[in-house]
Amino acid sequence: MMKAFLFLITLFLLSCSSNEDLVQVQNYGPIQGTTYQVSYVVNSGTTYQSQIDSILQIVDRNLSTWLPHSGISKLNAGDSIIKVQYPLLANVIDSSRKYYYQTNSYFDITIEPLIELWGFYQKSSGIPDSSRIDSVLSLVGWQHLYDENGYLWLDKGAGIDVNGIAQGYSVDLIAEFLMAKGVENFMVEVGGELRAKGKNIDDKIWRIGIDKPVENIEVDRLQEIISLENSALATSGNYRKYKVDPVSGKKYGHSVNPKTGFPEESSLLSATVLSHSATRSDAWGTAMMVMGIEKTKQLLKSQKGLQAYWILTDRKGDWKVETTDEFQLLIN
């Protein structure tokens, strides 16, 4: 799922520390059809660029639908795959199953046949009719994914789409790598999903900007600036990826409801989620865009350590913001 990109406010300075042996290193590059940025405070001369690139290459071999021979591409093509050969894919599937139940089945990676039908990842035209949607909807559901004797496979015509969790999972992998290396201060961002720990080189908490829900991100893009410390953040929205009915002109956002087969229509423009892990924040942000604000609020009552910032539109088309109580404390 395409994410509402978060903008990093902190300048990546390399020489502003009172300790001349410490520097703030920035690594960046392409990944998963988007980009990544990693910033961390380490001793001068230290860099983990090659290791980070290696981690993300492994992620691609497991989770990238852009690669025809990745684990997920093989699985969706009808192949049976060995789990130990694609451990990251197996982990993401396990996590996705957990979030499927937590979100009352609104987060569902088995939605891939519907995403393919609607053509949100291709430049196809036209809007599918209800009879075709009903037919494809029968291919959605965890009963079509098999996990037995160390193998994974799908029923014919079924598929999985992990775009609503893969980037958050990638963020967590890099964060865990840095912590294993003893790095205490870092910020990791992949495709707009983030996780931060400690402080930057100026001994200040990482500051992150939340985008306005608009298509044009070049001018006056920030809705809010927050402080992010020892937590993860992910934003989902419908305003930059949608289809337009060529007949009626109606816009359809890419947040498809796995229960109905149709893109969900609601007042919710974007959902930014804070938690202990980017994987969790990513999955919940995806689910919130399908659930809408009222169902989300009800479901959050049973969740601990999950905070949210929502941008909604009223009947006049004006924006309004709602937050959970603890999230409000982060706003600068």
Q: How confident is the model at residue 70 (pLDDT cuts 50, 70, 90)?
A: very high
Q: How confident is the model at residue 277 (pLDDT cuts 50, 70, 90)?
A: very high
* H helix and E strand count, the chain: 9, 16
pLDDT of 198 higher than 90: yes
Query: Count of CB atoms within 10 A of residue 30's CB?
Result: 9
Residue 1 lies in a domain: no
pLDDT in tens, 140-185: 999 999 999 999 999 999 999 999 999 999 999 999 999 999 999 9
pLDDT of 3 higher than 60: no
Residue 265 lies in a domain: yes
Spatial CB neighbours of 163, under 8 Å, sequence gap ≥ 6: 1, 2, 65
- The predicted structure's pLDDT at residue 27: 97
CA dist., res. 141 & res. 298, Å (int) = 24
pLDDT of 83 higher than 80: yes
Domain of 11, in residue numbers: 7-328
pLDDT in tens, 21-32: 999 999 999 887
Residue 291 lies in a domain: yes
CA dist., res. 67 & res. 129, Å (int) = 30
Spatial CB neighbours of 190, under 8 Å, sequence gap ≥ 6: 31, 32, 34, 35, 36, 56, 167, 168, 170, 171, 174, 278
Burial class (CB in 10 A: 0-12, 13-18, 19+), 84: exposed
Residue 239 lies in a domain: yes
Amino acid at 21: D
CA dist., res. 280 & res. 165, Å (int) = 8
CA dist., res. 158 & res. 291, Å (int) = 23
Tell me which H or E stretch contains 205.
Answer: none
- The predicted structure's pLDDT at residue 6: 47
The number of domains in the chain is: 1
Radius of gyration of the chain (CA): 20
Residue 16 lies in a domain: yes
Write down the pTM of the prediction: 0.90
- The predicted structure's pLDDT at residue 9: 43
Residue 150 lies in a domain: yes
CB 247 within 8 A of CB 281: no
Amino acid at 204: K
Token couple for 324: 């959970």
CB 234 within 8 A of CB 168: yes
CA dist., res. 259 & res. 141, Å (int) = 9
Residue 92 lies in a domain: yes
CATH at residue 243: 3.10.520.10
Give the three-state DSSP class for 317: coil
Residue 51 lies in a domain: yes
Token pair 């499927």: residue = 100
CB 48 within 8 A of CB 177: yes
What secondary structure letter does DSSP report for 20?
T
The residue-averaged pLDDT of 281-295 equals: 95
Going by C-alpha positions, the residue among 26, 21, 41, 6 that lies closest to residue 167 is: 6
Half-sphere CA count of 140, side-chain side, radius 13 A: 26
Token couple for 42: 């380490």
Token couple for 239: 């305003």
Calculate ∠ Cα 278-215-30, nearest 5°: 50
Spatial CB neighbours of 320, under 8 Å, sequence gap ≥ 6: 311, 312, 313, 314
Going by C-alpha positions, the residue among 69, 88, 87, 86 that lies closest to residue 77 is: 69
- The predicted structure's pLDDT at residue 231: 96
Looking at every residue in the chain, the average pLDDT score rounds to 88
CB 196 within 8 A of CB 230: yes
Strands (E), 56-205: 81-82, 145-148, 151-154, 186-190, 193-197
